[in-house]
Homo-oligomer: A and B are copies of this chain.
Amino acid sequence: MVNTTRSRKLARSVSIAGVGICKFGAFPTKTSRDLFVEAFKDMQNNLGDNFNVNDIETAYIGNYSSDLFERQGHTAPIIADWLGITPVPVTRIENACASSGSAVREGILAIASGLYDVVLVGGVEKMTNLPTEDVTDVLATAADGIYEIPAGLTFPGIYGELAKAHMDRYNTTSEHLMKVGIKNHKNGKLNPNAQFNVTIDDMIKRRQARAQERGQEIPEWNNEIDFLSDDSVNPMVAWPLRLFDCAPITDGAACLLLVSSDIAGDFTDSPVTIIGTGQATGKALHDSDELTSLSAAKAAGEMAYEMAGVKPDDIQIAEVHDCFTIAELVATEDLGFFNPGEAPHAVDEGITSRDGDKPINTSGGLKSKGHPVGASGIGQVVEIFKQLRGEAGERQVDKDLQVGLTHNVGGTGGTCVVNILKKGV
């Protein structure tokens, strides 16, 4: 037995030279390969003439289940063929909804290994071709098929358990959850690639306008919370989670060009460096010690902070895995941004709003930007990259941003990947 409690250090530093993302949404005529090519072309535009497709030496594709969604396995070489990058080695990485977070990590290790300088990492999922109930069943395969699924649980139910536990322990309310969604839709409205470019307030006005057009009685709601508490517009899915507490079903893809930091300048004048990366594995929900935090998220965060040499307070902006509204609250506590039980108050006070002290999910998050599960982790990195470079358009945070973080969860914390990004090399 050897002593393995040693500091985790990469042999080489890794930077992001450029990013690409496609419009997230529901696209009946597009397959995974189409979506990925769109994201890749966006990356080519982002990089310009400094990049040639032949620069790519290997690639990792995060994808949850093209098997069950599209009945297509062995997706990585098909995408490689469509990008024109054969014969370089290409491998699919699967860790449920953290698949592309893990793909980023494999790309980092591949460069640090000395074998490669230029690595494409991407994520893709095509989900909307199945009916909603079938999508829910496919996603449920990320839980334990022996101990959890036979108990009748699907993901809204599982995260409902987390929400109930958080409410019970910390007096968290349904309104706190709703405020996460309201905030994220405000951000998503300003993200042209988001699935929903609409705020909750916009939804109220649309409903009222539609009633007026039809000559119906115009419904009145006092405010957004009042609207979201109305069972007729926001039905209960799995108590206490309502429809607008759940991320949507989404088709989408995103990708990054990772390069050895010492050659980042060959590709861009403004690289972003991955100064910390952490990944951890958690027990399945049925075997977890507690329900108000995810052990894998805490462990992954600690790994990433240690490698980066930063503390939670140093993180200026973060994209966290809000597959359900409760998940964002738990994430910001697990990452040490707030003490346990304090995240709901932080949302109340606007601390996590785009103009707050700790902006969370400026992209709109999974809730409003959309959640193509295998692409979501890299979608998060795309947002932090753009924010750090001041290229986030209307939703740009008005601060001197230097350090940001991404937090990508698979299942109910079976996997969590945390990456910490810093402007420059």
Could you list which residues of chain A lie within 8 angstroms of chain B, going by C-beta atoms? 1-2, 4, 6, 8-12, 31, 50-52, 54-55, 57, 64-65, 67-68, 70-74, 76-78, 80-81, 85-96, 102, 105-106, 108-110, 112-115, 117-118, 138, 141-146, 263, 266-267, 279-284, 287, 295-296, 299-300, 410-411, 414-415
**A91 to B73, Cβ gap below 8 A?**
no
Contact present for A281 and B88 (CB under 8 Å):
yes
Point out the residues of chain B lying under 8 angstroms from A90, CB to CB: 281, 415
Question: Given A4-B117, A77-B415, 6 other A-B contacts at CB below 8 A?
Answer: A1-B266, A11-B113, A73-B96, A74-B142, A74-B414, A77-B281
How many Å lie between the Cα of A206 and that of B112 in the bound state? 56
Q: How far is the CA of A57 from the CA of B278 in the complex (A)?
A: 12
- Please name the residue on chain B nearest to A71 by beta carbon: B141
Asked whether, in the complex, the Cβ of A55 is within 8 Å of the Cβ of B86, the reply is: no
Minimum CB–CB distance from A278 to chain B (whole Å) comes to 8
Contact across chains for B102 and A95 when beta carbons are under 8 A apart: no
Q: What residues of chain B lie closer than 8 Å to A115, measured between beta carbons?
A: 8-10, 109, 112
Q: Is A68 in contact with B68, judged by CB distance below 8 angstroms?
A: yes
Q: Do B95 and A91 touch (CB < 8 A)?
A: yes
Residue of B nearest to A108 (CB): B113
Cβ–Cβ < 8 Å partners of A267 in chain B: 2
Instruction: Report the minimal beta-carbon distance from A84 to chain B, rounded to whole angstroms.
Output: 10
What residue in chain B is nearest A63 (Cβ atoms)? B94
> Is there contact, CB below 8 Å, between A11 and B114?
yes
How far apart sit A309 and B403, CA to CA, in the bound complex (Å)? 43
Query: For the complex formed by this chain, how many copies does it contain in all?
Result: 2
Q: Shortest distance in angstroms between A160's beta carbon and chain B's nearest beta carbon?
A: 19
| Contact yes or no, B73 A94, CB < 8 A | yes
Q: Are B410 and A77 in contact (CB under 8 A)?
A: yes
- CB of A284 within 8 A of CB of B81, answer yes
Q: Which residues of B contact A77 (CB under 8 A)?
A: 95, 281-282, 284, 296, 410-411, 414-415
Task: State whether A4 and B94 are in contact (beta carbons under 8 Å apart), knowing that A11-B112, A109-B113, A281-B87 are contacts in the complex.
Answer: no
**Residues from chain B with Cβ under 8 Å of A109 in the complex:** 106, 109-110, 113, 115
Which residue of chain B has the shortest Cβ distance to A6 in the bound complex? B117
How far is it, in angstroms, between the C-alpha of A112 and the C-alpha of B108 when the chains are bound? 12
Cβ distance A109 to chain B, nearest Cβ, rounded Å: 4
Task: Give 24 A-B contacts (CB < 8 Å), ordered by A residue.
Answer: A2-B117, A2-B267, A8-B115, A9-B115, A10-B114, A11-B11, A11-B114, A31-B146, A67-B67, A68-B73, A72-B144, A72-B145, A74-B142, A77-B282, A81-B281, A87-B280, A88-B281, A89-B279, A90-B281, A91-B94, A91-B95, A91-B102, A91-B106, A92-B93
* Of the residues B54, B94, B105, contact of A74 by C-beta under 8 Å: B94
For A80, the chain B residues whose CB sits under 8 A away are: 281
Cα separation A90 to B106 with both chains bound (whole Å): 11
How close is A283's CB to chain B, nearest CB, in angstroms?
5
* Shortest distance from the beta carbon of A280 to any chain B beta carbon, whole Å: 4
Return chain B residues, CB-CB under 8 Å to A106. 91, 106, 109
Question: Chain B residues with Cβ under 8 A from A296's Cβ?
Answer: 77, 86-87
Cβ A74 vs Cβ B95 within 8 A? yes
Determine if A86 and B281 form an interchain contact, defined as CB atoms under 8 angstroms apart. Answer: yes
Q: CA A5 – CA B281 in complex, angstroms? A: 37
Q: What distance in Å separates the Cβ of A302 from its nearest Cβ neighbour in chain B? A: 10
